[in-house]
Amino acid sequence: MQRYFIHQNADENQRFFIKDENDVHHIKNVMRNSVGNQIIVTFNDEKVYECQITQIEEGLIEVSLTKQLETETELPLDITVCSGLIKADKYEWLVQKATELGANHFIATEMERSVVKLNSNKVTKKLQRWEKIIKEAAEQSYRLTIPTIDYVSNLKQIYDRINEYDYVLIAYEDAAKRGEKSTLKQLIKQFNNYDRVLVIFGPEGGLSEKEINMFTNKAYQVGLGPRILRAETAPLYFLSAVSFEKDLTG
Amino acid sequence: MQRYFIHQNADENQRFFIKDENDVHHIKNVMRNSVGNQIIVTFNDEKVYECQITQIEEGLIEVSLTKQLETETELPLDITVCSGLIKADKYEWLVQKATELGANHFIATEMERSVVKLNSNKVTKKLQRWEKIIKEAAEQSYRLTIPTIDYVSNLKQIYDRINEYDYVLIAYEDAAKRGEKSTLKQLIKQFNNYDRVLVIFGPEGGLSEKEINMFTNKAYQVGLGPRILRAETAPLYFLSAVSFEKDLTG
């Protein structure tokens, strides 16, 4: 069942409104709900409730909380996926699938070998488009939070913020070519709950030597297995590996 | 560097021809190679060589073998990804990325909840299109083999072949919803090199109860982490998990 986000904390004694036009459209017209139907809502405090629809109006759905659902769908750590700008459709796939797979934050930035550029007057519109894709993927995959997305114009701005993170990794294609196959696994096993992890991925042409060297002694260069992965695939490998190690038991 | 496949065994004493028109175009026109340039070729026996271009003609490139490269880019087991038919662009994306991630075989089949159908007179053309995507992804990701792809009209045909596999898994969405989080990890840790593993994934609407029940006692129902993954994402999670466990050390 489709889930919807309400950006307030849960309160069983209160009624809430869903006003986002995409959600209202989905509830009313796509799923054809009526008053009395149940929908599932995720609140800002990450509580998830079955809710009953109490009113349907133009542009507005009112709900009351029926039953809390126990659910933990978030990864136990905070992952930021930083990608060099790649072709538009590929990046949209990436943020959609990486949201399904648990990423918490996205940063897009122009890198030396980015074929694609983003004019500053187009950034806002692009971010809005990406936010819409991310929100919808978060709802469909039962996330408890909606990943954030940001754009910075160059990698130096990322470098200036690396102290915000407990770990910084660079997915370096050459590491795969050189047969590097232990760093990623060792690191993922070391990660603790609530760690803030930044992973940097290059654009289609890969990271340049200058970009790699910028992070010498600040970031771990990791191979993502022996096969060369495309720019939009690599983050999905990383997130799946983290989930396999941290979400699954056995 | 782009790699190319030649469907013969390597022989350092022989010259070989590349005749595939897409490859010839790529070598001549896209990469603008001349006689004397080096390209990398993967042979049928999974040997990989640096080769020198000795002749360039219309529709044909002749090469001689220069130096063998040591490289292991295949997963140590044989994985078949069986998917219910999903929307065309999503399936093309799936086979491309699953090839990057190491899948060995694809089977597409119509399932109860498949929104998409495939008329028998369109199967051949579809397979050719998918094969082209897979081949190109195999070259780009440095695979030593090109994954195969097949279409069968219904799941019963898959059921009739399950004895060909050492393990059969069904990625069951309800398992995720019920919080099942150990079976996949335990199984992947058990897999031995050369094991033949079949994993069945549902279409957008998921597998039906009837389809799940068909495989009772024949297949393991596995959850792929706590988040709901789309039909085209789920196989990538599985393959990444296998690679993390089997390709990486530490």
Q: What is the edge-to-edge ordering of all strands in the sheet holding A60-69?
A: A3-6, A38-43, A48-57, A60-69, A15-18
Task: Give the number of other Cβ atoms within 10 Å of residue A18's Cβ.
Answer: 21
Domain residue ranges in chain A: 3-69, 78-248
**Residues whose CB falls within 8 Å of the CB of residue A237, separated by 6 or more in sequence, listed in order:** A224, A225, A229, B101, B236, B240, B243, B244
Residue A127 to residue A148: CA distance in whole angstroms: 10
CA–CA min distance A157, chain B (Å): 30
Question: Does residue A243 sit at the B interface (CB-CB below 8 Å)?
Answer: yes
The per-residue pLDDT of chain A, averaged, comes to: 95
The per-residue pLDDT of chain B, averaged, comes to: 95
pLDDT on residue A235:
98
Chain B residue nearest residue A178, CA to CA: B71
Token pair for A56: 């349907």
Nearest CB to B185; choose among A225, A233, A248: A248
Chain B residue nearest residue A228, CA to CA: B141
Task: Give the number of other Cβ atoms within 10 Å of residue B19's Cβ.
Answer: 11
- A236: chain B residues, CB-CB within 8 Å: 97, 233, 236-237, 240
Question: Does residue B249 sit at the A interface (CB-CB below 8 Å)?
Answer: yes
pLDDT on residue A174:
83
- Band (A208; pLDDT cuts 50, 70, 90): very high
Nearest to A240 by CA among B5, B227, B56: B227
pLDDT on residue A178:
79
Q: Are A176 and A226 in contact (CB under 8 A)?
A: yes
- B142: chain A residues, CB-CB within 8 Å: 226-228
Question: Does residue A241 sit at the B interface (CB-CB below 8 Å)?
Answer: yes
Helices (H), A77-208: 88-100, 123-140, 155-159, 173-177, 183-190
Q: Is B250 in Cβ contact with A183 (below 8 Å)? A: yes
ipTM of the complex: 0.91
Token pair for B4: 């190319």
CA–CA min distance B75, chain A (Å): 9
| A3-69: CATH number | 2.40.240.20
Task: Please give the model's pTM, rounded to 2 decimal places.
Answer: 0.91
pLDDT at A177 over 80: no
Token pair for A214: 């910028």
Per-residue pLDDT reduced to its tens digit, A90-140: 999 999 999 999 999 999 999 999 999 999 899 999 999 999 999 999 999
| B78-248: CATH number | 3.40.1280.10
